[in-house]
Structure 1
């Protein structure tokens, strides 16, 4: 079982006292601000009245609590309050500027320069609050010839090289470029944004100076090429699609067992030798073609041709058990339902149950890191659109009921 207890009401929060204005929508920005909220920051999510975050209406399962909020929206918007404010109205932009004066962080993902017309750009807001950490998330960054282009995860997976190395090779059934099954560029961009925000807060606390963070999906995608980028930049190796094969390590892939698929992940010669013996293929150990990692990589087709039929005689659970007993890494290729039924996932408290203010229960995947002294919190379920507008504006800015009614009459906030 996990050694880290779930947080209680008195558990300290790492980012307690940090105030975040979230002007972002869809995934990369909300993913970052959700992480900040999990760690204790107070997050105000600013949404367009009558519309809200785009993902609230994206297809797939939706809540039946009357909100119609999609499961997609729920994955990235817990631990936030939702304020519906029309930024296009001068009074709405003025509210944001007032909130900025008491905020530590602002996150936005408008097109480059898109907030300047409302007086909500970094230059304007940093003049009001020099300690502000202002994080801009775009497809291609604030500079460069593509700065004005719109960027979406799928597009960046294509332009950033990821799809050229993902999927089956050309010439085999199903071959061709393939995107990853989750919006990985958005998710990693949000994660990098969080790291950058925390670094900027550390600098701010030391110097009193805020700063502008320029976070781009394409830059993130290049970083995710990692070892493949290094193989090309430092060795001239042009990577291609290998399906589930590893470009360097063999055997390191999936194989078909009698009742399902297994992944074998062997990273060194000792593991290969023990695996060969386990499968009853001891002669492979003496075969010069397979004597090292590099040679096995060169002769992978011949090796797979021998290993495949041997693995096919096993049931998945039996082979996993045998390999684990021999200290060899292996695991079943599980479906999403199987993952969430895995007892180890329960041991780790990886799924949390939250309730909306009307009692509607939600299940969410929790913050993935266990902190012994300042664990992540799950205080607020993903909010209904605009649900906290009046209460938050009254508490933060001292607006009276009459003030709020006037703003509603002008269409700045919901009635």
Structure 2
């Protein structure tokens, strides 16, 4: 077997910015034919940096490159009747269409799920919105715009992220976009499997707000079971100890030893048998209560050792790892072996760029390859030809600026 899991699946990608393109990239990386339908001016993120110093073309920067690889691009003006007709033709043989417009945009274009379902009854329609779609539950916030920081704030993650003496803290990575994207990919793929059995597609809707609430699951059960309102606890865990980040002589290291046997092993490595015997630290529950004393003992040991020594002495038996910077990631042999540092051509630059690879690994597939993100409309003629357009029709569509 040398096929990729999603070979033969076609996804029409009307997304822009981060959440939607990350979702469709997951499909593309695993073999789906993802056709990125862009407006004549292109996805708004094409102009975002960073850019290579030698890149005078500036077709797109790192933002766009990272989440639009392995796709084909066709530029269509969906405000025109011919443009809408082209999208309907694209949908005829597609397995899924995914968009992340605000509610009502596709309806305003005459391209709603219900309309497109008439063209292709087995079409799965995926939507990522700030507060969901009225088809699945009309939120009082339905018409509000949303970005990652809003989803993180409202979904609860900022209330538990950061140190107790600081204000709410945003997670550095755009999880308010990326986690909804992953859930949408899961939901769309589940519906595609269902359509294979029933011949009928479904509307799949993920709200960014909902996704972050799901990500913060323990906040919900803690409040329900115990009536507590979880707050910011720095790098500690409210229910597990030790479980956090500790200073080393050259940076920081994460150590998690909540199981009693792990705690005993940590005490052995630190040459502190009295800590293992101390009733204040005998169980995880006791260590949570006496967290400050426990932390002080661990920091006394870690603070005079570098991260490499701490990791070497603990990691085989106690979950341990250094707090890595981007620079450290580029030299970690694990990421090289796992093909998580993907080398990809960058138009306008003499040397390839490195992107985060695909973490979903499958057996029996050909070696992972990453095609660069497409130029705007790079595959317009190719895709129109696949739709059965003759050369004169393509020329007309280009002349009246329906296709680019």
- State TM-score, norm by structure 2: 0.94
Q: 1:239–1:283: structure 2 CA closer, same or farther, 3 Å change rule?
A: same
Could you tell me how far 1:268 is from its partner in structure 2? 0.7
Counterpart among 346, 368, 380 of residue 336 in structure 2: 346
Q: Secondary structure at the match of 1:364?
A: strand
Q: Secondary structure at the match of 1:255?
A: strand
Q: Indicate yes or no: 2:230 matched with 1:235.
A: no
Question: C-alpha distance in 2, partners of 1:184/1:404?
Answer: 40
Alignment of 1:116-265 (within 5 A): 116-142=107-133, 143-170=138-165, 175-265=166-256
Question: C-alpha distance in 2, partners of 1:251/1:228?
Answer: 20
- The answer on whether the counterparts of 2:51 and 2:58 sit within 8 Å (CA) in structure 1 is no
Q: Secondary structure at the match of 2:287?
A: helix
Question: C-alpha distance in 1, partners of 2:370/2:310?
Answer: 42
Q: Indicate yes or no: 2:372 matched with 1:381.
A: yes
Counterpart among 84, 92, 97 of residue 83 in structure 2: 92
| Stretches of structure 2 lacking an aligned partner (at least 5 in a row) | none
Question: C-alpha distance in 2, partners of 1:41/1:403?
Answer: 27
- The answer on whether the counterparts of 1:78 and 1:378 sit within 8 Å (CA) in structure 2 is no
Counterpart among 18, 26, 35 of residue 26 in structure 2: 35
**Which stretch of structure 1 is more off in the superposition, 82-91 or 303-312?**
303-312
Could you tell me how far 1:212 is from its partner in structure 2? 0.6
Question: C-alpha distance in 1, partners of 2:268/2:285?
Answer: 20
Question: C-alpha distance in 2, partners of 1:181/1:356?
Answer: 25
**Which stretch of structure 1 is more off in the superposition, 308-317 or 220-229?**
308-317
**Any idea what the Cα deviations from partners look like across 1:267-320, whole Å, max 9, x if unmatched?**
211111221232232222222221211111111112212222222122221121
- State TM-score, norm by structure 1: 0.91
Q: Indicate yes or no: 2:368 matched with 1:412.
A: no
Could you tell me how far 1:377 is from its partner in structure 2? 4.3
Number of equivalenced pairs: 398
Could you tell me how far 1:379 is from its partner in structure 2? 5.3
**Which stretch of structure 1 is more off in the superposition, 200-209 or 57-66?**
57-66
Partner residue of 1:332? 322
The CA RMSD measured in Å over matched residues stands at 1.9
Partner residue of 2:64? 73
**Which stretch of structure 1 is more off in the superposition, 124-133 or 88-97?**
88-97
Partner residue of 1:269? 260
Could you tell me how far 1:67 is from its partner in structure 2? 3.3
Partner residue of 2:51? 61
- The answer on whether the counterparts of 1:85 and 1:92 sit within 8 Å (CA) in structure 2 is yes
- The answer on whether the counterparts of 2:59 and 2:347 sit within 8 Å (CA) in structure 1 is no
Q: Indicate yes or no: 2:310 matched with 1:315.
A: no
